[in-house]
Structure 1
């Protein structure tokens, strides 16, 4: 090592001590990366396990570059939680950091001025900000011209081979291409197998100039991995409630859906455990408070979706429990990597459920659209901006999939986001069908691998490390397979009974639609703006959501008998004969009907309904007729009639505008008299809510004083 290199390393370790504490020393790979970035101005990809110290690399490199007169480092970071942790870490090293994200819009101008004045050492931006027209056109050119270094954190997000693809990351390739010569670029991730590493270097354009790729072992000596298989959702929830206090320290309980996170957190609080829920729907200020409570051990656990994941840093996190298996071993490893960074032992427990594969299939359905739909979208775009809502009236994609598609087309140069919406660029674009086919096959393979993890008789940590192409993995000696010790599958009777009662508790409120989608005139529907007060439905009720951990499974079994194995609930029985039945158009079973009665009895409406109206069905007419009649009989509420379907059965549609158009004239005018009072409107499933909205409008215009929607299930 030359004198200059020795001096640089000495200064680097001085900075590290301000960041990590006295006596801290750089790992060799950390120094290799820092030297490449600072002394050689290279491009590097660092793939190292969570907690290894990837942030130390870019903060130390930033300090050295700033001392040499370089501009501010721009860090692209995907999550607010990650940004907050990074800003706190930077401050410890005397690095002035600022962020531009959706939660601090009032500070943007002041932040931009501070960057221009050299008063900011690190600017953290979200990938979504890169495609904001004002930021992209006004701020980004100045940043790229003056940046001292670009850091892409959680770089696996750029690859649709990765477990957490974010289309906004695709814009980084263009950003990197526009950087002046000699500006170092660092990409970091904890979860990338060989295929993702190759794709990240290509997608980011890092391959120019022989990038430095540093990959380390993914072993974590503190983790104790176990799988506990239990038969029912009640057993799993009861097991968790009874065992939570046995788990060390504070930790995270992961669920696969938002609803499950909220339900589990509520139940655990009822059982006396200090926990909070944390999901993508949690308001930012509540997320921040929840993170602080976990960091300070004021809660035993956060019950979270994957919204609490990348970058959350609690070195003494004592456990991670999964209620439901993620669809990928790579995603699973990323989440369990939150635990055990600075403790000798951390428990990692997976409680798989029957419903896991249904949830995997749902998320898989949100994959990149087929070529005809993409070509249709490009054909809709022109030189004049179209809003996403306006595009929805012409392209049958859900808002989520449409936004993803538009972002990919933007990053590929075929479309562009401008003020007022999206325009076509006129550039040629090729649909890479082969790539999308291979990605779909890879997703299926990952799901099979996750199922393999549940049943493996090999070391569980080796299994996960091999999925990440971590060479040379040796049996850990700590997991339930290696050690021959496992958490007992016995469930405390009291906890299991309480869990069964909790998840069997029916009743979910369903908010009414209050505004028509934009641009309905394009689809021949004369509806715009707010729905008039005299045509609105009231707040409705369902027994449960199809994604709920309790009633969701039961309702899926009723509405789609092939979705749930019989060993969860047993076959449905005819409520009159007691014989097993298999038709989808069967009378509502007694347990479901009893639940409906409980929901209606506990509704607490201001005025009792004066009549019941059923919604006619082409697919389950007997079931819905039976449901409406039984509600009428039990509640002693007159059955007024049924809304008769008009014309052909509407085609299935993906987005809100298209769904409304499909049901706008779905029913004939009611042929029965409607009293001036509340009417209970009965259906089997509330999906987008537009069928209930249109039916309620029809009844209100025909004289009903108000409409109270009720259904067996909601799809959310």
Structure 2
């Protein structure tokens, strides 16, 4: 296939003056004319999708089968389907968890040869129905296999995913005549070597990874309230629209609400939003109908807005590779774009949590394997959680790894053990975990260095920059203020944290049973919805609770805030008396708190509950089922229980089971409605 035809397609998709970027035609030529297998390591915005969509069009014109693209994010799939259809007229389909209504039509298109491009997630490869109905149908008919974000194959990649190992098997089993394009913007030498070792015959094509258009600045600012104030002061100075990245969904909501109060047209974006809402928000940002999206990294890989003017990180990412990937959203078709990172020691807690949780302990794997192995029937995830003290996320990780390594099989009714021996790979996991700690150390040093920031990132990527960039803040001086000018804004931000951290304590609907099954909780035994003043990690009331938990007494300031929240809440019928949860209250600190709240409300405090059995510390229990079993039948009512509505107080709430169990006891003893209240959500 001559280059002239590829040039026609490029002009059709991009414009009449379009020219191939360095190494784009080389990649297309080798995929189409030589059936090569390539690892494309190119910067964000280089045009990796241009390569594989153009190659798809050319191979379809040669009579080859459809292209299968394995892509990790739903937002990436949506954008790629649009690009394939709009730019080159390709018939593109996706099969994912958000479009089940389209699955049958997509399958028909594949089977009847009407599909040019099929996009799936790596997790879809584990689905037996997909394997039988789609993958086997395509096996000998692939025109091209594309693995997007191929760094996920490598243990050393910043976003390693166990399901990508399935891709490795498929790659190694593909007929030799089927070309492969594995693409990434975030692979250093170690990751490239690991990928090409695991998948032989991949030939790497590497380009320059850092774009000249990005002006990078880092700002040390430990207080989150101070960061909110900085955003309020400076957001209006940035040109065009942008993205503000946060590490958690809670921070996304809080930052978005704060900026909206100052007249900024921003919207929150995260993975838990439904697919239609995410696509709506992406479209608004693409059209510059919003100033910014405040987002988690769910808005990341593959999102392509060439005129995005800036990226701000409200918190420091856990590693430089992820930071580079996220700032790569900005400035793709602009001469200049800003990338600002706010950071401080408080960001370490989140980063350290994710490192420590990445690989569950060996005991978690063994407990799950033993439970599955000794069961006479297949077990669903929720049944496993009843029997093992392992968290939801850790169970997901364990099951995923065990499935990928063929130690377990997922059938129609749950998981069962296979005959394959399995052992915990201590050496590999310890090595990868240490690598994550090293990555954290490097981004910590990046945040405080006085050397060229662009070159620092390029070195992390094993790039080829030999001189300082001459356009980052460390080279030319800061281009946005590094401190808050109006210090009173910080106090306003602290109040914002206090005002937005209040949450509802919702009553539970189902009661699990240790011998299996569950029952609906009777309304006349259940607690009412309640309130919690703060989350434990927020810099407002949460910080006060954290500071005072070990002092033996909560302050009058917290009592006053609790009473103020109670007055705003106004439960009806109003509580006539107050009691407290006796569990974990060895020092009497919770009792004293409840007594002070009762006195301020001018209500009697009554010790209506007493502990009858030992309980484990809350932090030792990893999932909701274990927390339920921990408090079951551990309290009894005293003679002091009154008939009227009651406010029941605890300092912390996490699973709500202690409140639920207390409500059972109080309602059975003749109390009125039970309203739970806690200072902080753990």
TM-score band (shorter)? over 0.9
Question: Residue 98 and residue 688 in structure 1: after superposition, are their counterparts in 2 closer, same or farther (change >3 A)?
Answer: same
Find the aligned partners of 1:97 and 1:660 in 2 and give their Cα distance.
Answer: 47
Query: Which of 387, 400, 406 is 1:407 aligned to?
Result: 400
Question: Residue 388 and residue 185 in structure 1: after superposition, are their counterparts in 2 closer, same or farther (change >3 A)?
Answer: same
Would the aligned equivalents of 2:229 and 2:484 in 1 still touch at CA under 8 Å?
no
Would the aligned equivalents of 2:390 and 2:622 in 1 still touch at CA under 8 Å?
yes
Question: Residue 28 and residue 218 in structure 1: after superposition, are their counterparts in 2 closer, same or farther (change >3 A)?
Answer: closer
Map residues 309-348 of structure 1 onto 2, 5 A cutoff.
Answer: 309-348=300-339
Would the aligned equivalents of 2:583 and 2:615 in 1 still touch at CA under 8 Å?
no
Query: Which of 182, 191, 199 is 2:177 aligned to?
Result: 182
Q: Is 2:520 the partner of 1:530?
A: yes
- 1:529-549 Cα shifts (integer Å, max 9, x gaps): 322222222222111112435
Aligned residue for 1:225? 216
Matched position secondary structure for 1:369:
coil
Query: Which of 517, 532, 557 is 2:547 aligned to?
Result: 557
Find the aligned partners of 1:418 and 1:119 in 2 and give their Cα distance.
Answer: 31
Aligned residue for 1:574? none
- 1:320-359 Cα shifts (integer Å, max 9, x gaps): 1111111111111111111111111111111114421111
Matched position secondary structure for 2:520:
coil
Query: Which of 620, 624, 633 is 1:656 aligned to?
Result: 624
Find the aligned partners of 1:332 and 1:437 in 2 and give their Cα distance.
Answer: 24
Query: Which of 655, 658, 666 is 1:688 aligned to?
Result: 655
Matched position secondary structure for 1:316:
coil
Would the aligned equivalents of 1:149 and 1:184 in 2 still touch at CA under 8 Å?
yes
Query: Which of 588, 605, 610 is 2:571 aligned to?
Result: 605
Would the aligned equivalents of 2:270 and 2:298 in 1 still touch at CA under 8 Å?
yes
Residue 473 of structure 1, CA deviation: 4.6
Question: Residue 629 and residue 165 in structure 1: after superposition, are their counterparts in 2 closer, same or farther (change >3 A)?
Answer: same
Q: Could you tell which deviates more after superposition, 282-291 or 58-67?
A: 282-291
Find the aligned partners of 2:158 and 2:266 in 1 and give their Cα distance.
Answer: 27
- 1:133-161 Cα shifts (integer Å, max 9, x gaps): 32233332223232221111112223332
Compute the TM-score of the two structures, normalised by the length of structure 1: 0.90
Aligned residue for 2:580? 614
Query: Which of 29, 35, 41 is 1:47 aligned to?
Result: 41
Question: Residue 234 and residue 372 in structure 1: after superposition, are their counterparts in 2 closer, same or farther (change >3 A)?
Answer: closer
Would the aligned equivalents of 2:233 and 2:484 in 1 still touch at CA under 8 Å?
no
Q: Is 2:674 the partner of 1:707?
A: yes
Query: Which of 102, 111, 126 is 1:131 aligned to?
Result: 126
Residue 362 of structure 1, CA deviation: 2.2
Matched position secondary structure for 1:713:
strand
Aligned length: 675
Q: Could you tell which deviates more after superposition, 614-623 or 308-317?
A: 614-623
Q: Could you tell which deviates more after superposition, 31-40 or 454-463?
A: 31-40
Find the aligned partners of 1:539 and 1:473 in 2 and give their Cα distance.
Answer: 62
Query: Which of 525, 545, 548 is 2:535 aligned to?
Result: 545
Aligned residue for 2:82? 88
Aligned residue for 1:168? 163
Aligned residue for 1:215? 206
Q: Could you tell which deviates more after superposition, 181-190 or 55-64?
A: 181-190
Q: Could you tell which deviates more after superposition, 680-689 or 700-709?
A: 700-709
Map residues 126-525 of structure 1 onto 2, 5 A cutoff.
Answer: 126-202=121-197, 205-207=198-200, 210-382=201-373, 384-488=377-481, 489-493=483-487, 495-505=489-499, 507-517=502-512, 520-521=514-515
Aligned residue for 1:565? none
Question: Residue 155 and residue 558 in structure 1: after superposition, are their counterparts in 2 closer, same or farther (change >3 A)?
Answer: farther
Find the aligned partners of 1:474 and 1:666 in 2 and give their Cα distance.
Answer: 67
Question: Residue 217 and residue 372 in structure 1: after superposition, are their counterparts in 2 closer, same or farther (change >3 A)?
Answer: same
Aligned residue for 1:596? 562
Q: Could you tell which deviates more after superposition, 349-358 or 319-328?
A: 349-358
Question: Residue 241 and residue 24 in structure 1: after superposition, are their counterparts in 2 closer, same or farther (change >3 A)?
Answer: same
Find the aligned partners of 1:700 and 1:196 in 2 and give their Cα distance.
Answer: 60
Task: Kindly report the root-mean-square deviation, in angstroms, between the aligned alpha carbons of the 2 structures.
Answer: 2.0
- 1:646-684 Cα shifts (integer Å, max 9, x gaps): 3333252212222211221332x1113333332111111
Question: Residue 16 and residue 449 in structure 1: after superposition, are their counterparts in 2 closer, same or farther (change >3 A)?
Answer: same
Q: Could you tell which deviates more after superposition, 545-554 or 408-417?
A: 545-554
Residue 617 of structure 1, CA deviation: 4.1
Q: Is 2:609 the partner of 1:643?
A: yes
Residue 363 of structure 1, CA deviation: 1.8
Residue 12 of structure 1, CA deviation: 1.6
Question: Residue 243 and residue 25 in structure 1: after superposition, are their counterparts in 2 closer, same or farther (change >3 A)?
Answer: same
Find the aligned partners of 2:466 and 2:643 in 1 and give their Cα distance.
Answer: 73
Find the aligned partners of 2:551 and 2:665 in 1 and give their Cα distance.
Answer: 26
Would the aligned equivalents of 1:161 and 1:439 in 2 still touch at CA under 8 Å?
yes
Matched position secondary structure for 1:621:
coil
Residue 498 of structure 1, CA deviation: 3.1
Q: Is 2:68 the partner of 1:78?
A: no
- 1:406-438 Cα shifts (integer Å, max 9, x gaps): 111111111122222212111122321111111
Matched position secondary structure for 1:226:
strand
Residue 630 of structure 1, CA deviation: 0.7
Find the aligned partners of 1:362 and 1:45 in 2 and give their Cα distance.
Answer: 32
Aligned residue for 1:573? none
Question: Residue 142 and residue 14 in structure 1: after superposition, are their counterparts in 2 closer, same or farther (change >3 A)?
Answer: same
Residue 316 of structure 1, CA deviation: 0.7
For structure 2, the residue ranges without an aligned partner over 5 or more in a row are none
- 1:461-486 Cα shifts (integer Å, max 9, x gaps): 11122122223353111111111234
Aligned residue for 1:628? 594
For structure 1, the residue ranges without an aligned partner over 5 or more in a row are 1-6, 560-583
Would the aligned equivalents of 1:260 and 1:548 in 2 still touch at CA under 8 Å?
no
Find the aligned partners of 2:676 and 2:245 in 1 and give their Cα distance.
Answer: 33
